[in-house]
Amino acid sequence: MSYIELKDVRRIYPSGGGEVRALDGVDLAVEKGELCVIVGPSGAGKTTVLNLLGGMDMATSGSIRVDGQEISSLRGRGLTRYRRYDIGFVFQFYNLVGNLTALENVELASEICPDPMDAGEALERVGLGHRKNNFPAQLSGGEQQRVAIARALAKRPKLLLCDEPTGALDYNTGKEVLQLLQDTCRKDGMTVIIITHNSALMPMGDRVIQIRSGRVSKMYTNPEPTPIERIEW
């Protein structure tokens, strides 16, 4: 059994008189320690996959398993606990708390974990040890995203979910961030899922899943992922 497994997952929103099938029978599997890239155009349903995997939404039907745990059956507090202990989330717009310093933003996450990484160490890992007392407003976009990654890592999650991590960044900074994510996967054995509309990122993934119209249109593994520096877009 795979580390992460979605089987026939559907997510249907009632809309007006009818319904919108955001996901219409998604099947996919990701192995532990893989860097998985999920791509698809806008509206294909990749954000829904992200929401379901991140414990922010519940599937209408189907099964979602993460490390043997059935996520699709969780509700309310159970779902919160799943987010709290198992998921590291990296947002497109970093979502740092403006009123907290870089260090404090990391602490915000580590505070609620039973076995967190030291917040300072987490910042060191993303290479921001020297900026830990700066407020988000004093940091560049890339730096903010790195703080966000540190915040996600500090929880020692089972899964690092990244939603368009480069979406708000320029080309070079974006690359740096991707490099960081890849390194995290390689060095720490972290399972990383990157959700993006940018198909140029596909070669960097160990596994690539293409989503189209609420279904997985293609899923394949990359025995030799392309290094980040060779990826262009």
Partner 1 sequence: MVVNRSLRKELLREIRNSRTRFLSIFLMVALGVMFLVGLRSAAPDMRTTADGYFDRAGLFDVQILSTLGLTKADIAVFAQTEGVESARGGWSLDAVLSREETQRIVKVISLTGGMNRPDLLAGRMPEQPSECAVDAGVMDGAGLKIGDTVTLAPGENMSDALRCRSFTITARVNSPLYISLDRGTGSLGDGSVAGFVLLPESSFDLDYYTAAYITADGVLPLSAYGDDYDGAVKTLTDRLENTAESRGVLRYALLRSEAQEKIDNAQQELDDGRAEADREIADAQQKLDDARQELDDGWEELTQAKQDYDDGVIEGQQELDDARQELDDGWEELAQAKQDYDDGVIEGQEKLDDARWELDSGWYGLYTAQTTLEQSQAELDARRTEAEAGLEAARQALEDSQTLLDEKQPELDAAQAQVEALRTQTEEYAAGLEAQNAQIAAAEAAGTPLDPASLPLDQQTLDAMQAGLAQAETALADAQAEYDAGRAELEAGWAAYEAQKDEVLGQLDDAQAQIDSGWQDYESGWASLNAAEAEYTQGVADYEQGLADAAQKIADGEQELLDGEADYAQGQSDYETGLADAAQEIADGEQELLDGEAEYADGEQELADARQEAEDQIADGQEKIDEAREALGDLKPAEVYVLDRNSNYGFVSYDQNAARMENLARVFPVIFFIVAALVCLTTMTRMVEEQRTQIGTIKAMGYGTGAIAAKFIIYGVTAALGGAVLGAAVGTTLIPWVIFTSYGIMYTLPALQIRIYWGLILIAGAAGVACTVGATLWAMLSTARLSPAALMRPRAPRAGKRILLERVGPVWKRMSFSMKVSARNLFRYKKRLWMTVIGVAGCTALLIAGLGLRSSIFDIIDIQFGEIYRYDVQMSVDPEEPGTTDRVERYLEQSAGTEAWAGANTRSVTFEAGGAAADGYLRVTDDREALDRQIDFRDMSDKTHLRIPEDGILIDVKLAELLKVGVGDTVTIDCGSRISVPVGGIMEHYVYHYACMDAETFSRLTGEEYAPNEYFLTVTDDSDGAVSGLCGDLLELDGVQSASNLKSMARSFRETMEVVDAAVMIIILSAAALALVVLYNLTNINITERIRELATIKVLGFYDAEVAMYIYRENIVLTLMGIALGQFFGKFLCTWLVRTIEMDIVMFGREAKPENYVLSVVLSLLFAVLVNILMYFRMRKIDMVQSLKSVE
List the Cα angle 151/31/9 in 5-degree steps: 90
From CA 22, how far away is CA 168, in angstroms rounded? Answer: 25
From CA 34, how far away is CA 136, in angstroms rounded? Answer: 30
From CA 195, how far away is CA 164, in angstroms rounded? Answer: 6
87 closest CA partner among 50, 38, 59: 50
Q: Is 170 in the site for partner 1 (CB under 8 A)?
A: no
User: At a CB cut-off of 8 Å and minimum separation 6, what does 108 contact?
Assistant: 97, 100, 151
Site string for partner 1, 12-31 (x = CB under 8 A): --------------------
Q: Is 84 in the site for partner 1 (CB under 8 A)?
A: yes
Tell me which amino acid residue 114 is: P
Q: Of 93 and 233, which CB lies nearer to partner 1 in the complex structure?
A: 93
Q: Is 54 in the site for partner 1 (CB under 8 A)?
A: yes
**Rounded least distance, CB 50 to partner 1, Å:** 8
Measured in degrees and rounded to the nearest 5, phi and psi for residue 83 equal: -60, -40
**Rounded least distance, CB 64 to partner 1, Å:** 17
Count residues binding partner 1 (CB under 8 A). Answer: 37
Q: Of 134 and 213, which CB lies nearer to partner 1 in the complex structure?
A: 134
Q: Is 135 in the site for partner 1 (CB under 8 A)?
A: yes
**Rounded least distance, CB 218 to partner 1, Å:** 25
Q: Is 2 exposed, middle or buried (0-12, 13-18, 19+ CB in 10 A)?
A: middle
**From the list 2, 60, 72, 95, which residue makes contact with partner 1 (rule: CB under 8 A)?**
95
Q: Of 21 and 151, which CB lies nearer to partner 1 in the complex structure?
A: 151
Measured in degrees and rounded to the nearest 5, phi and psi for residue 215 equal: -135, 160
Chain residues in the site for partner 1 (CB under 8 A) = 47, 51, 54, 56-57, 77, 80-85, 87, 89, 91-93, 95, 97-101, 104, 107-109, 111-112, 135-138, 151, 155, 163, 168
